[in-house]
Amino acid sequence: MPQRLSFLGTNLPYPEARVVILGVPLERTTSWRGGQAQGPNAIRAASDSVEFFSHHFRKDVRDARIADLGDLDPYRSVEEILAEEEAEVARILRDGKIPVVLGGEHTVVVPAVRAARKFGPLQVLALDAHSDLRDEYLGLKLCHATALRRAQELVDNLVIVGARSFFGADLEEPWFAEPPSFSQKLKPELPLWLSVDLDFLDPSLCPGVTNPEPGGLSWAEFLGILRELRRFRVIGMDLVELAPVWDPSGVSAVCAAKILIETIAALWL
């Protein structure tokens, strides 16, 4: 029987792991291009094409002891999927491990943050081309366009880097920052959840996303963000909005896999 896909081909048992991958292929509140449900397995498949070693941080990510739990069942109600995600992330944190949620749409950040917040004060750093700060969108209080507003209501600090698409009222919010100075808005004493919407990168680097926005960050700027984050206690992350159907070259999925590899190397080794 063929083995299911796993990130970097890992099959480490959960009890032995420090970093735990959880796929949440949610695709229910898409407002333009779809395809996010294919994201988790596209990242896993692309990880087979890249090296385990990060030359930027001089680390081999196999030393992070990675387990991949596979995907949650997407053929249920949104409420059931998000409730199971919250329970799984809480379990991983309770066991002293690092949860990494692969989306799926950005909505999956909310149950992850809700789970992390159960363990005490928390801050969120979001890398995103869009503010995602609407109070509701198309009649929905919880969706990809409101995800960071719902997260902000749960945490003690929110910082958004890479935003360049706004609906207007959000421009006055105090949470936006630029790459060179973003860490000044973070609080060193608070644990941090990292939320990465792949559209934070310029679409020339990563076109296979649901809502590409010109003028995004460079790869060098992303690595600079990771170097700054090494001063903080990052307890988990989500990586969302890869839509591989919009990039037949496969480069976007490789980019997502590399983001995860470099993040693990920088923050959890």
Q: Give the CATH number for residue 261.
A: 3.40.800.10
**Contact partners, residue 214, CB within 8 Å, separation at least 6:** 202, 203
Residue 1 lies inside a defined structural domain of this protein: no
Q: What's the gap between Cα 175 and its chain centre?
A: 18
In a domain, 88, yes or no: yes
| Dihedral-angle region of residue 241 (phi above 0 means left; psi in -120 to 50 means alpha; beta otherwise) | left
Q: How many domains are contained in the chain?
A: 1
Mean pLDDT of all residues in 29-58: 91
Domain range enclosing 195: 7-267
For residues 3 and 23, give the distance between their C-alpha atoms in angstroms, rounded to a whole number: 16
The pLDDT of 177-201, averaged and rounded, is 95
Residue 59 has pLDDT above 80, yes or no: yes
pTM reported for the whole predicted model: 0.95
Within a domain: 2: no
Average pLDDT, integer, range 52-63:
94
pLDDT band at 3 (very low <50, low <70, confident <90, very high): low
The strand pairing partners of 195, in sequence order, are 126, 238
Q: Are strands 53-54 and 98-103 parallel, antiparallel or unpaired?
A: unpaired
Instruction: Write the pLDDT tens digit of every residue in 119-155.
Output: 999 999 999 998 888 878 777 787 677 899 999 999 9
**Over the stretch 198-236, which tens digit does the pLDDT of each residue have?**
999 999 999 999 999 999 999 999 999 999 999 999 999
Question: Given this model, what pLDDT does residue 236 score?
Answer: 98
Quick check: is 73 in a domain? yes
Which one-letter DSSP state was computed for residue 222? H
